[in-house]
Every structure is written in structure tokens, then in C-alpha cells.
């Protein structure tokens, strides 16, 4: 283990443990990370912030050796590499604690920490040395300040405790850099405190930490230095003295909101869809009510896991609802399946395009016609001519870039695949269209086209419900924004109150700062 | 016909030519008629199996159903004196009900097709044996059903009527699978059931319909087999027939994951299997090796097909790489 440096902030005094220089990584259609350089000193806590898609996960993948950078160098302990392998990353002492926990909850803590690396007893049978294992895990648990023992089953632990097990696991390989990817996003406040204490403990042991979080106040409290990523480039570095909430936000957003489309001029029409006291299986005790008007784009914001997708799936009839009713144009629906929703003009552009949105192996034309086969058939036989006619029309109006409508949909780019998903619903004259993360994994150009399309739809009187985790998108595109927090709608923001800060406050269950009126919602 | 089908057809012709060269009896009308009769019988049940496999499912109870429904059919007309057209319809309905039960358990109660139909395989075999008290079901001496016998075991201009029945069913099912909305739904479900559901297709009903079609065609095949053998010992009748059907589908280009395959393919698969059976007989290979020959040929066929596919993918990638040399960081 290295010596603990005297100064906590990196100032070039100590040789950095890790440094990246000029790293670039591009995927087809998007540069995920460009000309990125950073240095991590021993015992330094680096806060890494940025919006979704800013390049944080690409950076993590490069450090983990999962992804090979296009160019640039990675220097570990003074040795320069073009890339790290997964093994090389592990041997260098880089450990990850991911947002999703990777524990086996049918095993106890000790078994999880040393899974596959158990200390063995002497002898030909190679039995696991339980006593030694427990002792080793016990000392690791003490280091992370855990208040549970090594033989506790993981299924009995709280989320924060499980996170501690993950950190113990990370430490068990003699880590020198622990990367925490949004470790607090699912933790309640008191548990978060414990985790921040653990980070301070790691630092005291001379272990470097990269702490990724959307919760800027936590970053303020523990980071020695903050790196801000935006659109794949390093937008700014804040030394300890300059770490400030508003400054981080400014750097994260950086520019004028590109996503803003022509804001609707017309006043929204009558209520197109009304959901009353919907209870989903994920949040059975939290009924949700929501109204969407004709001609408006209603944004639905919230943290991952706040119940947005679950609500959308229920409104589309894919998931059964435990209670509540759905009305369109004031009429109660017998909504028992997606087929019922489609028959009533409620369409969903699902979150997972490749699994739920399209059939990758089908040609474009057959994907577009699939929900509307009765219209493309005579006496139960498919009319290929009618299918192709509709597909051609949609291809030219949406600008789907493909050699022909007979092209296999799976060979298209993400943006064009998404347009195929949209095309199949647009061909059927939607009344209500729900879009779950409609621009995820799509390049900037196609994004703008999809935003415009949503506006055109709204102007034609369609009610649009857009679920999005992209703050810029939520604020730029929506006429109103409903924010969900732990299964409930924590508030609805009108245009005047629409700000990143207010959305964030509602998303974590706090009161927004409203301009004129009393707070509405619950 | 797809490239795959043409390849299979060529294989059938080559094997036929080789067998004919070694043993000219292969081309005798009597041999061709017998083989085409078997192709007709197995083809009908293979088409049924094909509909289930397209959805990504499997139907393992075919052989046992053939035993049970065959026993019932002979019992109805020979012992109980039922009019044969009535018994005929009744058996088809029973087959459909078996399919409906399987489809319901699979689509509505979300049981795995393998498990449901494996249980069917065991249950129907047991019921068939119990029904005849393990005896043989057959016709009494001198019992005749001229029309039924003509339709099932008779010939028209030397062509077995069972083969003609297969051609008719094949034509109908080709339209259903390759031209109808229902067929489109079947492929969509086989490719990606979730995406089909998200497109508003009532996937449960479509899957159940596939099992009903399989059940009805199996029942029809059961009647043909019963009239072909004329006596049924329920302990062995129809043993392994589901595997003939699955093998025919796999040879014909079906994927057991669903969403792939054609009617022409499954028929060509059936023809090849029967040709191999015939080959074993004509070339003096010990008939005990029958299954081994079939298994070996299927394995080689699938292997060649898969390797060929991998080879083509590699070749395409190499070409694509040459077409745009080292575009590091410039791809848009």
C-alpha cells in the first residue's frame, strides 16, 4: 500500500496513481469521449458528474478494460498503456462498485466477498477454509464500518449494507482505486451518511476514489476535486476550494438548451387521457392519477426506479393494474391488454427498442404494418402492396434512411430503428402516444428530428406523454412536466416553473420553488 | 423456394441417384408408392409440428396422441359401430382439444412447452394402453370400410391417396403460413414475442391456435396411420413419431428458437428422412442402425448449414472491412 499523501488535493507533488491523456472513444454515429485527460493521486477522492450520455460510463468501461479507446494513453504507476484489459485493470488495483449490486442473495456475506477466490485448507480435497475466510471478511467489514457479521445472509441486509459488502469485495483485491458508480442513488439519507463515512475511511487508507453521483451535495461534501463531463468532453475541473453546486450545474448544462423546440403556441385541448388512481404491481400502495390533454407534450421525469415505466406499461395494457381506471375522451376503457390499448388509439414507444419496439429480423415494411394487419389484408390474406405503400409513405415523411422498405430493420442505425417504431404508430393516426426514453442511444441529428416530430404530432392534436431521464430533453421539449418520486407524482410543473432545479427537487421528493402560485400536487 | 430449400432438394436428388445406382429397385413403382405413402403420413404430422415450432414451442406428445387417437378411431368404427365420417370428425375434434389444452397451459398459465407436451406424451400413452387393456386394437375379420379405406390407404393412378392428401394440406397450410395475417403473426411471435405483444397482437390466442392446428393435423395423421397399419398395439404404435416431425422441421431449416422455417422446407425434410429409411432397407444396412443413420445425417446437415452460415458472415465482414479501410474515429 502506498503512503498517505500529506496534501489531499492533487497538485503534482506526488506521482499520480493513474493518469489518462488524450483519450477518445467513438461509437458509430456518436463520439462518446473525446480528448479526455485526468490524473488521480493516491488517496484522492474525485467527484465525477455529468448528465446521462455525457461519457461517464464510457470512461468507466475504459478504466475497467471492457472498452478499448480509439486513441490516447492510460498510465498506471508510471507505465503507459494504449488500453487496459479486464485483467490488467484488476491487477492494477482498480475496483468497481456498480449502481446495480452484483451479490448472490442466497449466499452469506463471506461467500460473496471471496467468491471464486476462497482460502483453501491444505490437503487434496481443497476444502474451503471457513475459519480463515470469516476472519478475512471480518477484518474487511471492520474497515468499511459494517455493523453486521460475515455469516449474515445477504438477503437479510439493507441496500446500504449490501453496498458495504460490495465495497468490502472491492477492497479484498487490494484495490488502490475504487470507482463508485452512483452508489447513493437508491439509498435513503441516513444510509447515505454511512456510505460517505466509508469513502472518507478509504481516503485515510490512501486509496483513491472516483465517486460518480447525480447528488451534487454529496459530491460537495466528500470530493477533493470535481471533473465535469459534457457531451464526451471534459467541461471543467473544480479544485476543492471551487466546488460549488451551482457551478457544477452550470458546467454540466453548459450551453443554451439545444433540445428546446418551438414551444406550442396553441392552448392545449380537452383531456385526451385520464388515469385515475392507477396502482402498479411495483408500487401497489401508491395510486397515481394523471391527465394528458390533446395537443400537449407532457414530460414525465423522475429518477430511475421512480415508477415511470411501470405507469406507462399499465397505461398501454402490457402490465395488469392492481386498481384504478383509464379514460380516453371521458370514456372508461376496458383495458386488459396492449391490443385493447392499440384499438383505442393509445400507443407506446417502449423503452427497450430492440426487445420491445421492433422485430430486428423483420423488414421495415413488416414492422410498420404489424400492429395494423387488418387494414393491410383482404379476407385474412396479407396485402403486400398495401404494406409497402404505407411503409414508403412513412419512410419519406420520417426520413428513414434505408435502401428500401424491404431492408432488415436490425441493420439500421439506432435513430432509424426508432423512426420505424414511430412510423408504425404514426401510420395508424394516434390519439395518445406514450414515449419511454424516445431518444436513448440516438445521435444528436436524429434526436432533433424526433423532437420536431413530437411537436408536429402535438400540433395535430395528439396527446404526447414523454418519459425521459435526460433533463435537457424534459425541459426543452415538454409543455408541462410531471415528476415522479417513489411511485407517486410528486408534482406537476407548468412552463413558468419549469427548471432543472425544480425537476430535481421534485424527483428527490422535496418541494419545488414556484414562481407565483402555491405549490400544487402532493 | 429459398436457397436452403434448393440445397435440400439437391441433397435429396443426389442421395436418390446414389441409391438408385447401387440398387435399381429404388425406382420401382412399388417402392416409390410405398415411400410416398410414408411421406404423406409423416408429412401431415410434420406440418402440424412446424406450426408449433414456428412459435418457438415444441410438441412432444405427437406419437402418443397418434396411438391414443388411433385406438379410439378403430374402437369407434370397429367395435362401437359408429359411422366412420362421424368418428372421423370426432377424432379431429379430440385432437384439436388436446392441442387447445396444451396451448392454454403454455400461453395462459405460462408453463414451458417442453414440460407440458412431455407430460402429454406420458399421459396419452398410458391412457391408450389402459383403454385397450394393453391389447391390440384392430378390425374383425371381414370388416370393411371401402370408402374410408380408399381415401386413406387407396391409390389414384398409382399415387397413394395419403400422398395426395398431403399435397392438398400442404397447399392450404402454405397459404396459411406464408400468405395470411395469422401466419405473419406466427412469425412475429416466433421472432420476438415481446415485440409482437407491444404491437398489440393477442399473442396468447395465436399460440393456442398453433397448438390446435398441430392437434388437428396429428389427429388426421393418426387416422391415416390407423388405416395403414389396421391394427394398433398401443404400447409401441407411434413411438418416436414426434421426433421424426421435429427432425424433419430441423432439416427443413426451422429454428427451435422459433420464427424461422417454411412449409416447403418441412416437406423436403420429411422426404429426406423417408428416403434415408428406404436407403437403409435397400442397401442392406442392418435395420437396427436405422436411427443411427438418421441421427448422423441430421447432425451433419445441421453442422454444414451452421458452418456455412458462419463462413458467409465472416466473408461479409471481411468484405465490409475492405470496403472502408481503417475509418478510425470517422464513422458517422
Burial class (CB in 10 A: 0-12, 13-18, 19+), A131: exposed
B324 CB near a chain A CB, below 8 Å? no
* Poorest-pLDDT segment among A507-511, B83-87, B274-278: A507-511
Q: Identify from A381, A417, A436 which residue to disrupt to test chain B contact, counting B C-beta atoms within 10 A and taking the largest count.
A: A381
pLDDT at position A3, please?
45
Which residues 190-249 in chain B show a CB within 8 A of chain A?
191-192, 194-202
Alpha-carbon dihedral angle through residues B292, B293, B298, B299, given to the nearest 10 degrees: 60
Q: Taking CB atoms and an 8 Å limit, are B198 and A24 in contact across chains?
A: no
pLDDT at position A6, please?
40
Residue that wins the pLDDT comparison between A401 and B206: B206
Spatial distance between the Cα atoms of A272 and B48, rounded to a whole number of angstroms: 46
Which residues 278-307 in chain B show a CB within 8 A of chain A?
none
Q: Taking CB atoms and an 8 Å limit, are A380 and B194 in contact across chains?
A: no
What mean pLDDT comes out for the span B67-79?
95
Domain span holding position B87: 3-321
> Using N-to-C axis directions, what is the helix angle for A159-172 and A130-143, rounded to 10°?
110
Whole-Å CA distances, B288 to B161, B246, B277: 30, 21, 11
pLDDT at position B118, please?
97
Q: Taking CB atoms and an 8 Å limit, are B198 and A338 in contact across chains?
A: yes
> Which residue from A51, A126, A62, A52 is spatially nearest to A96, judged by alpha carbons?
A62
B330, pLDDT greater than 50: no
Spatial distance between the Cα atoms of B189 and B55, rounded to a whole number of angstroms: 6
Q: Find the closest chain B residue to A32 by CA distance.
A: B329
Q: Taking CB atoms and an 8 Å limit, are B201 and A339 in contact across chains?
A: yes
- With beta carbons under 8 A apart, name residues in chain A contacting B331: 26, 28-29
The interface predicted TM-score (ipTM) is 0.87
Residue ranges of the alpha helices (H) in A34-158?
56-63, 86-91, 109-113, 130-143
What mean pLDDT comes out for the span B39-51?
97
Say what the pTM is: 0.77
Fold of A269-345+430-513: Rossmann fold (3.40.50)
* Poorest-pLDDT segment among A304-313, B280-289, B314-323: B314-323
Q: Find the closest chain A residue to B192 by CA distance.
A: A359
Q: Taking CB atoms and an 8 Å limit, are A356 and B181 in contact across chains?
A: no
B319 CB near a chain A CB, below 8 Å? no
B30 CB near a chain A CB, below 8 Å? no
* Poorest-pLDDT segment among A216-225, A262-271, B9-18, B97-106: A262-271
Q: How far is the alpha carbon of B183 from chain A, nearest alpha carbon, in Å?
A: 9
The model's confidence at residue B322, banded by pLDDT at 50, 70 and 90, is: low
Domain residue spans in chain A?
18-93+175-253, 269-345+430-513, 357-429
**Each residue of B128-173: pLDDT tens digit?**
999 999 999 999 888 889 999 999 999 999 999 999 999 999 999 9
CATH, residue B246: 1.10.3470
Spatial distance between the Cα atoms of B249 and B267, rounded to a whole number of angstroms: 8
The model's confidence at residue B325, banded by pLDDT at 50, 70 and 90, is: very low
Alpha-carbon A283 to chain mean position = 20
A383 CB near a chain B CB, below 8 Å? no
Q: What is the average pLDDT value for chain B, to the nearest integer? A: 92
Q: Taking CB atoms and an 8 Å limit, are B196 and A370 in contact across chains?
A: yes
Spatial distance between the Cα atoms of A480 and A477, rounded to a whole number of angstroms: 9
Spatial distance between the Cα atoms of A381 and B170, rounded to a whole number of angstroms: 17
Number of domains forming the structure of chain B: 1
B328 CB near a chain A CB, below 8 Å? yes
Spatial distance between the Cα atoms of B164 and B37, rounded to a whole number of angstroms: 9
Residue that wins the pLDDT comparison between A98 and B184: B184
Q: How far is the alpha carbon of A78 from chain B, nearest alpha carbon, in Å?
A: 27
With residue A20 as reference, give the H or E element that holds it: strand A18-27
pLDDT at position A159, please?
74
**Each residue of A393-432: pLDDT tens digit?**
999 999 888 889 999 998 888 888 999 999 999 999 899 9
Q: How far is the alpha carbon of B128 from chain A, nearest alpha carbon, in Å?
A: 38
**In the numeric block, which cell numbers belong to residue A461?**
392534436
Fold of A18-93+175-253: Rossmann fold (3.40.50)
With residue B161 as reference, give the H or E element that holds it: helix B161-179
pLDDT at position A252, please?
78
Spatial distance between the Cα atoms of A43 and A178, rounded to a whole number of angstroms: 10
Q: Give chain A's residues under pLDDT 50.
A: 1-12, 256-260, 519-522
Residue A246 three-state SS: helix
Which residues 328-367 in chain A show a CB within 8 A of chain B?
337-339, 341-343, 348, 350, 355-362, 366
Facing A318 at nearest CB: one of B175, B191, B197: B197
Amino acid at each position: 500500500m502506498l503512503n498517505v499523501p500529506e496534501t489531499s488535493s492533487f497538485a503534482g507533488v506526488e506521482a499520480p496513481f493513474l493518469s489518462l491523456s488524450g483519450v477518445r472513444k467513438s461509437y458509430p454515429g456518436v463520439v462518446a469521449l473525446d480528448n479526455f485527460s485526468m490524473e488521480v493521486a493516491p488517496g484522492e477522492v474525485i467527484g465525477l458528474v455529468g448528465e446521462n450520455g455525457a461519457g461517464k460510463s464510457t470512461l468507466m468501461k475504459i478504466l475497467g478494460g471492457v472498452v478499448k479507446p480509439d486513441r490516447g494513453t492510460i498510465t498506471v504507476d508510471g507505465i503507459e498503456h494504449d488500453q487496459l484489459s479486464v485483467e490488467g485493470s484488476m491487477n492494477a488495483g482498480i475496483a468497481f462498485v456498480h449502481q446495480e449490486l452484483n451479490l448472490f442473495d442466497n449466499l452469506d456475506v463471506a461467500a460473496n466477498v471471496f467468491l471464486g477466490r476462497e482460502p483453501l485448507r491444505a490437503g487434496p480435497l481443497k476444502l474451503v477454509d471457513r475459519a480463515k475466510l470469516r476472519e478475512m471478511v471480518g477484518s474487511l467489514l471492520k474497515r468499511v464500518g459494517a455493523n453486521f457479521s460475515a455469516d449474515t445472509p445477504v438477503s437479510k441486509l439493507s441496500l446500504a449494507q449490501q453496498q458495504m459488502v460490495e465495497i468490502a469485495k472491492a477492497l479484498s483485491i487490494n484495490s488502490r482505486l475504487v470507482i463508485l458508480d452512483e452508489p447513493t442513488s437508491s439509498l435513503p439519507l441516513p444510509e447515505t451518511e454511512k456510505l460517505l463515512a466509508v469513502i472518507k475511511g478509504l481516503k485515510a487508507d490512501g486509496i483513491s476514489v472516483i465517486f460518480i453521483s447525480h447528488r451534487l451535495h454529496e459530491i460537495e461534501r466528500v470530493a477533493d476535486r470535481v471533473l465535469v463531463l459534457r457531451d464526451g468532453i471534459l467541461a471543467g475541473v473544480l479544485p476543492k476550494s471551487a466546488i460549488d453546486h451551482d457551478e457544477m450545474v452550470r458546467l454540466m448544462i453548459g450551453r443554451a438548451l439545444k433540445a428546446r423546440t418551438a414551444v406550442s403556441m396553441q392552448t392545449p385541448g380537452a383531456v385526451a387521457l385520464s388515469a385515475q388512481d392507477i396502482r402498479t404491481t411495483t408500487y401497489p400502495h401508491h395510486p397515481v392519477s394523471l391527465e394528458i390533454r390533446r395537443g400537449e407534450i407532457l414530460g414525465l421525469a423522475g429518477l430511475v426506479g421512480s415508477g415511470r415505466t411501470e405507469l406507462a406499461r399499465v397505461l398501454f395494457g402490457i402490465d395488469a393494474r392492481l386498481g384504478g381506471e383509464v379514460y380516453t375522451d371521458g370514456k372508461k376503457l376496458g383495458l386488459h391488454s396492449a391490443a385493447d390499448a392499440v384499438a383505442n388509439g393509445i400507443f407506446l414507444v417502449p423503452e427497450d427498442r430492440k426487445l420491445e419496439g421492433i422485430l430486428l429480423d423483420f423488414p421495415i415494411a413488416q414492422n410498420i404494418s404489424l400492429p395494423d394487419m387488418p387494414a393491410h389484408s383482404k379476407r385474412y390474406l396479407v396485402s403486400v402492396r398495401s404494406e409497402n405503400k404505407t411503409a414508403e409513405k412513412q419512410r419519406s415523411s420520417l426520413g428513414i434512411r434505408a435502401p428500401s422498405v424491404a431492408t432488415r430493420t436490425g441493420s439500421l442505425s439506432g435513430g432509424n430503428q426508432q423512426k420505424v417504431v414511430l412510423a408504425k404508430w404514426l401510420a395508424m393516426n394516434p390519439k395518445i402516444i406514450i414515449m419511454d426514453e424516445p431518444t436513448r442511444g440516438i445521435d444528436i441529428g436524429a434526436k432533433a428530428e424526433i423532437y420536431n416530430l413530437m411537436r408536429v404530432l402535438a400540433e395535430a392534436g395528439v396527446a404526447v406523454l414523454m418519459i425521459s431521464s435526460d433533463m435537457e430533453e424534459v425541459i426543452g421539449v415538454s409543455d408541462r412536466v410531471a415528476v415522479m418520486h417513489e411511485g407517486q407524482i410528486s408534482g406537476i410543473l407548468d412552463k413558468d416553473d419549469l427548471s432543472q432545479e425544480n425537476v430535481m427537487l421534485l424527483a428527490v421528493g422535496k418541494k419545488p420553488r414556484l414562481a407565483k402560485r402555491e405549490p400544487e400536487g402532493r | 423456394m429459398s436457397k436452403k430449400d434448393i440445397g435440400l432438394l439437391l441433397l435429396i436428388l443426389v442421395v436418390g441417384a446414389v441409391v438408385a445406382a447401387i440398387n435399381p429397385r429404388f425406382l420401382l413403382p412399388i417402392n416409390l408408392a410405398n415411400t410416398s405413402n410414408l411421406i404423406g403420413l409423416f408429412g401431415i404430422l410434420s406440418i402440424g409440428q412446424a406450426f408449433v415450432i414456428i412459435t418457438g414451442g415444441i410438441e412432444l406428445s405427437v406419437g402418443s396422441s397418434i396411438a391414443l387417437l388411433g385406438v379410439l378411431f378403430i374402437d369407434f368404427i370397429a367395435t362401437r359401430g359408429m359411422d366412420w365420417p362421424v368418428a372421423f370428425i370426432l377424432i379431429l375434434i379430440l385432437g384439436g382439444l388436446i392441442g387447445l389444452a396444451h396451448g392454454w397451459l403454455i400461453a395462459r398459465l405460462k408453463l414451458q412447452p417442453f414440460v407440458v407436451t412431455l407430460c402429454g406424451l406420458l399421459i396419452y400413452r398410458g391412457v391408450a394402453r389402459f383403454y385397450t387393456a394393453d391389447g391390440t386394437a384392430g378390425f374383425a375379420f371381414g370388416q370393411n370400410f371401402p370408402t374410408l379405406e380408399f381415401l386413406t390407404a387407396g391409390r389414384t393412378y398409382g399415387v397413394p391417396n395419403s400422398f395426395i392428401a398431403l399435397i392438398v394440406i400442404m397447399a392450404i397450410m402454405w397459404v396459411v403460413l406464408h400468405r395470411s395475417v395469422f401466419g405473419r403473426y406466427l412469425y412475429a411471435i416466433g421472432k420476438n414475442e415481446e415485440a409482437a405483444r407491444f404491437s398489440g397482437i393477442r399473442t396468447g390466442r395465436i399460440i393456442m391456435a398453433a397448438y390446435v392446428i398441430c392437434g388437428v393435423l396429428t389427429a388426421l395423421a393418426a387416422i391415416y396411420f390407423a388405416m395403414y397399419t389396421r391394427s394398433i398395439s398401443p404400447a409401441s404404435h407411434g413411438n418416436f413419431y414426434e421426433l421424426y416431425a421435429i427432425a424433419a422441421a430441423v432439416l427443413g431449416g426451422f429454428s427451435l428458437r422459433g420464427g424461422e422455417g417454411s412449409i416447403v422446407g418441412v416437406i423436403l425434410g420429411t422426404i429426406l428422412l423417408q428416403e434415408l429409411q428406404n436407403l437403409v432397407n435397400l442397401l442392406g444396412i442392418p435395420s437396427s442402425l436405422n436411427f443411427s443413420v438418421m441421427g448422423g445425417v441430421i447432425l451433419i446437415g445441421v453442422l454444414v448449414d451452421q458452418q456455412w452460415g458462419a463462413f458467409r458472415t465472416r466473408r461479409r465482414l471481411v468484405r465490409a472491412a475492405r470496403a472502408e479501410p481503417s475509418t478510425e474515429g470517422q464513422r458517422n
